Every structure is written in structure tokens, then in C-alpha cells.
Chain A
């Protein structure tokens, strides 16, 4: 079974779905009409551009092209995290980039190299979408985790300094804040694993079914991607926090106030 093509003419019917929400916005004077139109245009242009590029990547099936594309995605994610966390860009750019690389690469290699029987890192068909899904989740978790970590220390600075005064090493003093940050960053993934399939069919499973596979194959893919996402987010959060502490704290163990944009 092959997936049906969508012609541009038929896609226009999809844009027709916007008529109702836009009409509601105009009728109730909800001031997001402009933003919605810009978002739809951006989505269309970005996805068409990515589609054209990926067609080349998929045709080539080159390891280096795949890796280059993943690196671009990771770099964009890296900058997004830093903006999302309201941190000064340069300080954390490299450590968070490394954390994202590890958090994406480790589960991706396991997925493509071990879980899938006949795939390799040259198969763009697997590497790009699976890497993208893992990375997208790492990005979200890292924003919650890294920001939560530094914000909670800033908020509880007296208690944190009290631990240092009592003789704690830096790693002993930050341990409870790492635990808290991980808990809040991993909670959405854990909740999503606990309810998956009950509320809605997840994205990957839908994609695999649309691609013509049996529901059972789709479920096995979904289980594998959930495990990969969970592992990737945990790796990214822990490494994200540990690798940034060097620039986040002074040699005396004091949090750098200059980290925060506000």
C-alpha cells in the first residue's frame, strides 16, 4: 500500500479550513489575526523549503549530508534554548550544543543501528525524522530543565550558599536543584508515556500507518521512539546542567548573576 499524494490544488482545500478560525477572530476582534496569517505563511514557506532540501538529502542518502542537516537542526535548537531560557547567548552556546548532540546522537544510533534491522546512518529516511523527533523533545525538556535549574538556585540563593558554607562541594550543593530540574523537565515525557494511545494516536505512529505499515509495526516504532525520546531528554538535561556549571558558577561556587538577561 502506497501513501496518496496531495496535489497543490487539493492542499488549497486545507487552507480553506482557516476560514472559520479567522472569521471567529475577526468577529470577536481577537487581536491575533495578523500573527496567525504570518505564522501560516511562515509554516508554508519553511516546510516547502525543508521539503525541497530533504528531497535532495533523501536522494543522496549520504552520511555526511545527514549529519550536516542534523547539526544545523541542533544549532537552531541550541539558540532556541538559550533564547527560551533568557540566558546570555555566548556563555552557554557550546555546552548546550554538546548536550544536545549527545542527547540526540546516542538514542538515534541505538534506534537506527540496533532497533531497526536493516538501517544505517546513511538512510536519511530514518535518520532525519527520528533525529528530528528526538531533538525536538530534547529542546523542550532542556528549556524547562536548564532554566529551572538556574532559576531555582537564583530564587533560593541563600539556602544554596548556606550549603557551601557548611562545607558542601559544588556538586553536593547543586544536587537537589538538579533533581528538581530533572523532575520537572522529564515529567511531561513520563506523563505522555503513561497516557499514550489512550488520548490520541501519536505522531510517529500516525506517520508509519500513513506510510502503509500495519498498526502493530507502527506501535513498535512508537514504543521505540518514546524510549529514545525519554533517554535523549534525560541525557540532554543532565549534560546541559553539568556542562554549563563551569560557566554558570564562579570558581568560588557562586552563581553568576550576569547569566540572566533579566
Chain B
């Protein structure tokens, strides 16, 4: 039996003295897509941030592709993950620079050929080539979300962590994103309030602020 792509067990997170997650457990098999939903404040984004090592849990374990998450392993685990934050902050640069920047990192240099797929992703997400020369600060919220997603997709990671990636997208663009993600073979955790994304998911997990997990 293959090991889960993501295995979270008994995760407890407190931030500023407030318990955000209590004994949360979840396993996701390789290639499966799981939607995390539920009311705001339930800790959905915190789960993604824990997997990325941005939040250190008080208790519990996280395994990514069988590798336990530690201060040492996190640096190699991140090379397997693509992440799109809610309202992504892409820095101060042109879109062209933002999309090229990850390939300057040692971890991604061998993937720089993936930039050839940029025109294809732009077309699929309804972006014109003129956007490339725009400053990120001048982009609309929807454009930023699509650029953030393209940046993560170009890295072709095994695991994608997507946090409310459709909050600023109109109906057509949202559908284009869903269709595109259907064909991406990565394991996905999708934090969303948008029910349209449920059709993408193999499993929907509702997280309540009372730290209850109800699987569907």
C-alpha cells in the first residue's frame, strides 16, 4: 500500500494563546484532491501554513510523502509543494520577473524549461501577453490570483496547497481554473468557500471553529 502524500495526525495549534486547531487529523492519498471548507476562523489556512512550516504546531505530526516535517526536512519538503496564498503577495516587480524569479532558486533551476508553457497557461486563464510587462501592484485581485496560480503550476510540484484561489475571480475565470486543475495530476489541498470547487475534489472536509472534523 502506498503511503499518503500528506498525513496529519493530532495537530494542535495555538496562536497568541488561542487554540486554532485541536487534535486535527487528515490523510490524503497520492494524487487525490481534498477540499477544506467551513466557517472562517476554523484553521483551514493554518493547516496549509503548518505543512509549509510557517506555523509550528504545539502538538501533532505532519508527514509529507512519508517524510516527517522537521526544521531540517522542511527545506526539502517545500521543494515538493506548490502554494498559492489567499490574496497572494507577489512582491514589487513586473509579472514577468515574478514568474521568472522561482527559477533562479537552486531548487528550481532545472525546471526553467517549464517557462515555455507560460503562453499556454496565460491563454487558458484568459490573460493576455501584455500582462507580463505590468507591475504586480497594478494588477486586479483576480489577475494576481491567476498569476500566483500559474507561478505554482509552472513549478510542477507533487503537491498543491491552494488557499481561496477563486475569491476574486469571475465565473468564467473560476471555471477555467477548475477545468485546468482537473488535468493537473498533483495531490491537492484546496481551502475554499466556493462550492464550485467541490466538483474538483475527491473529498470534502468541513472544519468547524470548534475543531470538529466532519468528513463527507
Contacts and interface: CB of A to CB of B under 8 A. Distances in A.
A159 B93 CA distance: 11
Interface in A160-174: 161-169, 172
Nearest to A180: B92
Interface stretch (A29-37, A76-84, A96-104, A247-255): A247-255
A164 B52 contact: yes
Interface string B132-156: 0000000000000000000110010
B102 A166 contact: yes
A93 B54 CA distance: 26
Contacts of B107: 167-169
Nearest to A252: B53
B81 interface: yes
B57 to A, nearest CB: 12
A250 B105 CA distance: 20
Contact of A162 (B88, B104, B106): B88
A158 B71 contact: no
- Classify chain B's interface size: 20 to 34
Contact of B54 (A156, A161, A167, A168): A161
A166 B91 CA distance: 13
A5 B145 CA distance: 72
Interface string A139-171: 000000000000000001011011111111100
A168 B105 contact: yes
A167 B71 contact: no
- Classify chain A's interface size: 10 to 19
Contacts of A254: 53-54
B90 A162 contact: yes
B3 interface: no
Contacts of A176: 91
A250 B72 CA distance: 11
B83 interface: yes
B74 interface: yes
A172 B109 CA distance: 13
Given A251-B71, A254-B54, A162 B83 contact: yes
B74 A167 contact: no
Interface string B51-87: 0111010000000000000011011001101110100
B89 interface: yes
B184 to A, nearest CB: 17
B89 A167 contact: no
A12 to B, nearest CB: 56
Interface of A: 156, 158-159, 161-169, 172, 176, 250-254
